[in-house]
Amino acid sequence: MAKTKSGRIQSVDRALNILELISEAEDGLSLAQIAQKIGLPKSTVHGLVSTLRDHKYLRQDDEDGRYLMGLHLFELGSKAARSWDIRDAAKPAMRWLGKEFGETVHLGCEDNGEVLYLDKIAADSLITIVSDIGTRLPMHCSGLGKALLSHKSESEIKRFIQTKGLTPLTGRTITDPDKFIKELAKIKEQGFALDDGEIMEGLRCVGVPIFDEDGLVRYAISVSGQVKDIYGNRLERLIIETKRAAKEITYALSKGKGHIK
């Protein structure tokens, strides 16, 4: 079995690349198209797609021979969704926050050093937030991301900075590593993160970490809106209620149902 320098199995890498390619092709791909896109001989690709087809990860159209996503992927996805109950646990708190403040509410987690958006309650707003479910955004300049990062060790934070960098998205993005580390320490102490136009001009976001039963931060919740609408007493109340919502979600994860009123 051939391995890459990182120790990964080459054939598995290739099979996963093929799955990702076909997932993006609405009408499927022919053997020749897959070979061309992935840069491998047709004979090699044929062996890979045949194996994936036999295990029902791919299916082949009877008429034109194109390969499409198989039923087994849907079955696996459904099982994963049933076993991952964070969205169900968070939904009541998210709906309450959205109704109470009329702003956009997000639920997210970290995935490969980025914020992965898991759920969203959208608000009618003049400002468009690119945060659909499944979207990934930088951690260092978002309320969700900073809330998630704030409970990592200093060595983990430094490794994150070295790997991902602190690329400025606006003039307010924190790009100095020392200032960023101090910012995360402040967030940890106060229990919430504030994105004040760091990822998008005119946007203000309050992010709060969600703890699991072991006291680890796995997820975060945030409320986002225009700076002109989130300030003063309203900002203070939003912080209080978002922190309370995060506690409710922790409760819901460990006990079953939340009880925001």
Task: Please report the pLDDT score of residue 258 as a whole number.
Answer: 42
Q: What is the pLDDT of residues 67-77, one digit of tens each?
A: 999 988 877 77
Q: What is the pTM (predicted TM-score) of this model?
A: 0.68
Q: Which two tokens stand for residue 249?
A: 């979600």
Task: Please report the pLDDT score of residue 259 as a whole number.
Answer: 42
Is 106 in contact with 120 (CB distance < 8 Å)? Answer: yes
Task: Please report the pLDDT score of residue 5 as a whole number.
Answer: 55
Task: Please report the pLDDT score of residue 79 as a whole number.
Answer: 61
- Which ranges of the chain have pLDDT less than 50? 83, 257-261
Task: Please report the pLDDT score of residue 161 as a whole number.
Answer: 96
Task: Please report the pLDDT score of residue 130 as a whole number.
Answer: 64
Task: Please report the pLDDT score of residue 260 as a whole number.
Answer: 43
Q: Which two tokens stand for residue 138?
A: 């930088």
Q: What is the pLDDT of residues 99-129, one digit of tens each?
A: 999 999 999 999 889 999 999 998 876 566 6
Please, what is the angle between helix 177-190 and helix 154-164, to 10°? 130
Is 107 in contact with 94 (CB distance < 8 Å)? Answer: yes
Q: What is the pLDDT of residues 79-95, one digit of tens each?
A: 665 545 788 899 999 99
Task: Please report the pLDDT score of residue 73 as a whole number.
Answer: 85
Task: Please report the pLDDT score of residue 26 as a whole number.
Answer: 85
Is 14 in contact with 40 (CB distance < 8 Å)? Answer: yes
Task: Please report the pLDDT score of residue 8 as a whole number.
Answer: 79
